[in-house]
Chain A
Amino acid sequence: SQKIEQNSEALNIQEGKTATLTCNYTNYSPAYLQWYRQDPGRGPVFLLLIRENEKEKRKERLKVTFDTTLKQSLFHITASQPADSATYLCALKNTGNQFYFGTGTSLTVIP
């Protein structure tokens, strides 16, 4: 069956440290993978997109890697801040037009 799993339901880290979130997928062949941030009671906000032929993408304090052999993407937030606390979702676009989301990881950055 098809699955998109994110490493843990919740992750707590100290301010200033690097947060690393994992997204693993099974039985998908995504053309690309995206990461979103969702705050409580709000819709997701797009952060980064990485294509199947790209190994790494960066945007300010964010870094995403994509390993199609391992079927895994890693999402890093460096120099984390309390304002980074949110739920982070990975999503992949399969061969059709649709996007499918992972289970989400709730990140809390402790001051």
Chain B
Amino acid sequence: GAVVSQHPSRVICKSGTSVKIECRSLDFQATTMFWYRQFPKQSLMLMATSNEGSKATYEQGVEKDKFLINHASLTLSTLTVTSAHPEDSSFYICSARTTGGQETQYFGPGTRLLVL
């Protein structure tokens, strides 16, 4: 099946710094990628839809200036958490949807962010 990778898998940073998380589709092209965040024992909350070559679409309540998304190619989307604070600590997961009418989305392994 299709493989999606995320890097880094785990990051610890100081409050006020920015953190970039990469999401790559390894063996397929993805015009659309999605970014989710998940708090412990809770479900995935969709943050934004990342579209290759255009601006991301953010869900209500998600600050676009706080969570910068760049989908520079058909295999790479990045999420940058700017000026991170402890409340941004969470599990961030990306997914990619295959093109050609496929409806399945494939998830990355997630990135655990801890802001001190």
In the assembled complex, the CB of A20 is this many whole angstroms from the nearest CB of chain B, namely 19
Decide if B80 is an interface residue (CB 8 Å cutoff). Answer: no
- Classify chain B: how many residues form its interface, as a range: 20 to 34
In the assembled complex, the CB of A36 is this many whole angstroms from the nearest CB of chain B, namely 8
Decide if B15 is an interface residue (CB 8 Å cutoff). Answer: no
Decide if A101 is an interface residue (CB 8 Å cutoff). Answer: yes
Report yes or no: A98 in contact with B46, Cβ–Cβ below 8 A: yes
Report yes or no: A41 in contact with B103, Cβ–Cβ below 8 A: no
Report yes or no: B108 in contact with A32, Cβ–Cβ below 8 A: no
Report yes or no: B109 in contact with A42, Cβ–Cβ below 8 A: yes
Which chain A residue shows the least CB distance to B108? A43
How distant is the Cα of A42 from the Cα of B109 in the complex, in angstroms? 5
In the assembled complex, the CB of A44 is this many whole angstroms from the nearest CB of chain B, namely 5
Report yes or no: A104 in contact with B95, Cβ–Cβ below 8 A: no
- Classify chain A: how many residues form its interface, as a range: 20 to 34
Taking CB atoms, residues of chain A closer than 8 Å to B32 are 97
Question: Given that A32-B103, A43-B110, A97-B32 are known contacts, is A103 also in contact with B43, CB under 8 Å in the complex?
Answer: yes
Cβ < 8 Å to B, chain A residues 52-111:
89, 93, 97-104
Taking CB atoms, residues of chain A closer than 8 Å to B28 are none
In the assembled complex, the CB of B47 is this many whole angstroms from the nearest CB of chain A, namely 10
Taking CB atoms, residues of chain A closer than 8 Å to B46 are 98-101
How distant is the Cα of A43 from the Cα of B32 in the complex, in angstroms? 17
Which chain A residue shows the least CB distance to B4? A43
Return 11 A-B CB contacts under 8 Å, by A number. A32-B103, A41-B91, A42-B110, A43-B110, A45-B107, A89-B43, A97-B32, A97-B49, A99-B34, A99-B46, A102-B43
